[in-house]
Amino acid sequence: MNIRFYNAKMLVPAKDGRFEIVEGELWVKGKEICYLGDGRSNLEEVCKDRDVIVWDRELDVKGNLLMPGFKNAHTHTAMTFLRSYADDLPLQDWLNKQVFPREGQLTEDDVYWLNILGIMEYLTSGITANFDMYFFPPVDAKASVDTGFRTVQTSGLNNFGGTVELMEENYHIVNEMSDLTSFIIGFHAEYTTSMELMEGVAKLAQKLKSPVWLHNSETKLEVEECKGRWGLTPTQLTEKLGMYEYGGGGYHCVWVEEPDFEIFKSRGLTAVTNPASNLKLASGICPLKRFADKGVSLAIGTDGPASNNCLDMFREMFLASTLAKVREMDAACIPADEILYMATAGGANAMQLSDCDSLAVGKKADIVMIDLQQPNMQPENNIVKNLVYSGSKQNVKLTMVNGRILYEDGRFDIGFDPAEVYQRANAVIRRMK
């Protein structure tokens, strides 16, 4: 579709690498942004050698904000079936006694519908892409294609399921399925994965020239046990195994040690913080400022809906910012624009979505419209700070992915009846023992 947005405020990259607000118009032609400006200047240059655009829709933004969609950089989407089911437990008991036994009962059809439920929630939060780790990657990818959502996947390979050979097969299937789906090499975590499997992951990553991702240093116990087994932290062990020749990163990264920061920096890795999940599971607080001071790339994820339990990037931004301040006892340690960058471009960089990281001509039209005409966004002293400190899902008026509006004013256009999705999700957990 060809869509013209006018009378808009737009969050665009600034010269310092963060953001500025400009006013004017944004045009979407097909899947891409083809114009961003004041609606008067540069039009001849922009439209040169192009066909005359016939608009399918012209949307008066009425002074509201267009911004790049949030990139949810760590998810287990299909865990929607365990939302509010296995709470108030430490991580190891939560996983081993509640989560793993029920995940073992999931079918491919279950995962398909549970993914659609999660995608619906992402859209209501202005999330236009997620970085997922779960079972049945081709099924996960099909749910994204069928709804029009964008998903990057990595493997949850561990001792309880999967093989390196299957990961390689899924890598090719998902990467070749659609421009909405991609796959990056990974595994669940050191504490769930044998040395033989980890060595296989490293070899596959080198063969495919892929980054590697894993849950890394989420809990103090995880790091202590890893050091007991190998004399190294998870970061040091995976570096020693040769996993990071082509980059990658870790999820959580709470209990990192000084040599780990150096590895992250030297290898160009990204640390993805998941503040709500780490709080709920009492895992700790990620040392964001230390990573930032080292020049390490950062991103933000919600984690899964069983450990969070809300797939809400506004809440994650607020927690990431305020927890960093409390951890350092420094109210100025990480400014709001850096947090917003982590939630948008930082996640896009981690997910290798360089064409989806910002609002600019030639970028994919993954766009969110934020309603500024609500009390929590007024006055407009600083729109970026309003987004991070007072914004909420109630402000998301519209979410567009790949040039297609999938959510607008509380209504979904994803090809599925929400009532059917809810019914199927409830049926999954009700049949389980």
Same domain, 239 and 340: yes
Domain that holds residue 59: 2-68+363-412
Same domain, 109 and 130: yes
CATH of the domain at 237: 3.20.20.140
Same domain, 6 and 126: no
Please give the pLDDT value at position 250: 98
What is the tally of structural domains in the chain? 2
Q: Is residue 310 part of a domain?
A: yes
Please give the pLDDT value at position 49: 47
Please give the pLDDT value at position 52: 72
Per-residue pLDDT tens for 299-356? 999 999 999 999 999 999 999 999 999 999 999 999 999 999 999 999 999 999 999 9
Q: Is residue 307 part of a domain?
A: yes
Same domain, 191 and 233: yes
Same domain, 277 and 241: yes
Same domain, 344 and 401: no
Same domain, 305 and 397: no
Same domain, 218 and 272: yes
Please give the pLDDT value at position 46: 56
Q: Is residue 243 part of a domain?
A: yes
Give the chain as a 3 state SS string.
Answer: CEEEEEEEEEEEECCCCCEEEEEEEEEEECCEEEEEECCCCCHHHHHCCCCCCCCCEEEECCCCEEEECEEEEEECHHHHHHCCCCCCCCHHHHHHHHHHHHHCCCCHHHHHHHHHHHHHHHHHCCEEEEEEECCCHHHHHHHHHHHCCEEEEECCCECCECCHHHHHHHHHHHHCCCCCEEEEEEEEEHHHCCHHHHHHHHHHHHHHCCCEEEEECCCHHHHHHHHHHHCCCHHHHHHHCCCCCCCEEEEECCCCCHHHHHHHHHHCCEEEECHHHHHHCCCCCCCHHHHHHCCCEEEECCCCCCCCCCCCHHHHHHHHHHHHHHHHCCCCCCCHHHHHHHHHHHHHHHCCCHHHCCCCCCCECCEEEECCCCHHHCCCCCHHHHHHHCCCHHHEEEEEECCEEEEECCEECCCCCHHHHHHHHHHHHHCCC
The parts of the chain modelled with pLDDT lower than 50 are 49
Per-residue pLDDT tens for 144-156? 999 999 999 999 9
